[in-house]
Amino acid sequence: MNDVPGLPARRAALRMCDAVLRRGETLDGAAVAALRQVRDDADRALARAIASETFRWLVDLDALIDSTTRQRLPDDAKPRAVLRLMLAQWLRLETPPHAVIATGLPLLSGGPRRLAHGVFSALVKRKVSLPDAPTLPPAVAARWGERAGSIAAALAEPPPLDMALRDPGETDRWTGELSGTSLLAGHVRLPRGTPVENLPGYGDGAWWVQDLAANLPARLLGKGKGRRVLDLCAAPGGKTLQLAAAGWQVTALDISAARLERLRENLVRTRLQAELVEADALQWQPGEQYDAVLLDAPCTATGTCRRHPEVLRRIGPRQISEMAELQARLLERARGWVRAGGQLVYAVCSLEPEEGEELIARTGLVCGPIAADLLPAGIDPSPQGWLRTDPGMLAHQGGLDGFFIASLPIT
């Protein structure tokens, strides 16, 4: 059966989706096991694309399936899972229906195969289409309220590729050499799908991949001028690289040895320096206080839903509450590691108020001002002083991830 061309990629995509829905894994985590037997790079990329587009449009794919069956298929029924993949390929990846059928039906057997064939063929005959924007799961739309519509519209396509420059003074040069656009000094944006390793400047370490929103927290600390900063939960290290390039003496702490190794490799490539510490921030104690601390805290990561659409299915009230409690503990420790007169920057790539605005209100900390010239045009701090971005912002320029960022002076 694996002799069918393209079947291993579809089988891997099915396993990835199953791991997310049944075990709550991320697509990146699920891909490790699911792609183990897929050797061809093109097939590996295809499997990830199928799974990603399936989750991006899951509500709408299910609606199409339900419009064709006499009796609603259970959510965890394998024919539904396979039909989701088949429809995602046809409607989003523009795979011809005959190729979808040839690589999709072998994932099933017996009656389920006949059922899937009948449903898919009926939808093809009806020439169905997807809406302009993905429909959010009802619980997610309710959480996000008035923001839901613009965020959903921004999820229709995967995001572009953003790079942070080692030297912001060379923005014009690299924007030209890379044939990109720039929304901020030190930032260059390219179309998605660009092969990074082949681009000018990669081998010289002139830039690294980092979403525009993720590029903002470190900017709030300004030039280091040799001062000491602690980057908590630092890996994979984009903010560490920013701080080192801005002249800070950086201590980068993370609990993951593997992620710190990636940071170490990027430090070598970019010719930047930082002290790396593998430790649990809830247990570790520094020998002295720092001039500044940047806490990019572990979070639900709902702000990354453009590139990780499965997060809309993985995260609910329980996970949000658990993360908010962890963030509160980390924030309490981090504030004690900043010397009087120093600065604590708190950030999360979450769209949930419990992990952002509400958490800061609970701490009693007061937000300091965020200068407008540190931010892209069209992005402004709130009247309360903190910054909130979401994927619906700057949509005509390619958008950005959802982040909550607060600059907290320590007295």
Q: Please list the active-site residues.
A: 349
Q: List, as one string, the DSSP characters of 269-291.
A: HHT---EEEE--TTT---SS-EE
Distance CA 251, CA 275 (A): 5
Exposure string (b/e) for 4-13, b if CB count within 10 Å is 16 or more?
eebbbbbbbb
Helix (H, G, I), strand (E, B) or coil at 131: coil
Helix (H, G, I), strand (E, B) or coil at 189: strand
Per the CB < 8 A criterion, the answer to whether 351 and 390 are in contact is: yes
Element (H, E) at 207: strand 207-209
Cα 311–chain centre separation: 9
Distance CA 50, CA 13 (A): 6
Exposure string (b/e) for 237-261, b if CB count within 10 Å is 16 or more?
bbbbbbbbbbebbbbbbbbeeebbe
